Structure 1
């Protein structure tokens, strides 16, 4: 069973599914759905539409240059049926799929490296530019100041301490501020970026993945 890719978006077009368009010169075009067929008839360029494979490859969002992708090339060479060759081919297909999936994960990690830091930097800039729009105190803090004012306590100093403590403990997104005790008795403040319940390390696992690929090749 041959599964041809869609001529427009690149998705697999399964037999008896999708649309086949035959041109007057005899060339056939396979489309996985009517959306791709309509865009093809409107003469749109698939490299300019973000939901197509051509756009993602052109933008560097997918792995294009790799040895495992060469096995997917079409080979119109007739081969005599051999049971042993057929079994070896099936095992090789499974192993190649595993290697390709692992390499795609490594490619994605390298491509997304530093994204969290850029998002935090843009969030900091946005908050710094529009800090005058943010509320200075929460509702519970305002009620506490009202209770202290009713008791006759000077609330200016208390409000200043609240704002100072909030400014020191401010964190964005998944950041966590921790205080680390040093050996010499000092104190160091550390900002950790967490993701999925733990500390996020962008470079973690890159070398191991590449070493595994070197061994399997």
Structure 2
């Protein structure tokens, strides 16, 4: 369809361009395909398994840091948006002392009638 892959959100290039995926992680170098068959060596095999565990641990730590770094600005942005919304609609906020004086500003308390069958059914479910 001749779309630019950097603009289509599900592509790797989009995620790499927007900083959503970790692309510069050096642990990805270990997963390169090697076409040469290796001779079996027990020491190499054990070292490889130990290295895989370490790489997995390092990669998990880096992923956590990456996500934390991405989310770092989000709290500040949410706070700014909340402050802006409050400034725009401050007239809707009433002080608690005003609400105590004028009961018409509070929401009415609704009473709902429940039949005996419905009450028994709710108790059975709990």
Shorter-chain TM-score tier:
0.5 to 0.7
Which one has a larger percent helix, Structure 1 or Structure 2? Answer: 2
* Residue of structure 1 equivalent to 2:72: 113
Shift of 1:112: 2.3
Residues 1:97 and 1:137: Cα distance change in structure 2 (over 3 Å):
same
Say yes or no: does 1:99 pair with 2:58: yes
- TM-score normalised by the chain length of structure 2: 0.65
- TM-score normalised by the chain length of structure 1: 0.41
Q: Which consecutive unaligned segments of at least 5 residues does structure 2 have?
A: 104-126
User: How many aligned residue pairs are there?
Assistant: 103
Say yes or no: does 1:62 pair with 2:16: no
* Residue of structure 2 equivalent to 1:50: 9
Alignment partner of 2:94 out of 136, 148, 170: 136
What is the 5 A alignment of 1:66-105? 66-105=25-64
Q: Secondary structure at the match of 2:58?
A: helix
Q: Which consecutive unaligned segments of at least 5 residues does structure 1 have?
A: 1-41, 148-217
Deviations 1:151-189 (A, max 9, x none): xxxxxxxxxxxxxxxxxxxxxxxxxxxxxxxxxxxxxxx
Alignment partner of 1:145 out of 91, 97, 101: 101
Say what the alpha-carbon RMSD is for the aligned residues: 2.6
Shift of 1:146: 4.5
Shift of 1:98: 0.4
Shift of 1:84: 2.6
Q: Distance in 2 between matches of 1:93 and 1:46?
A: 32
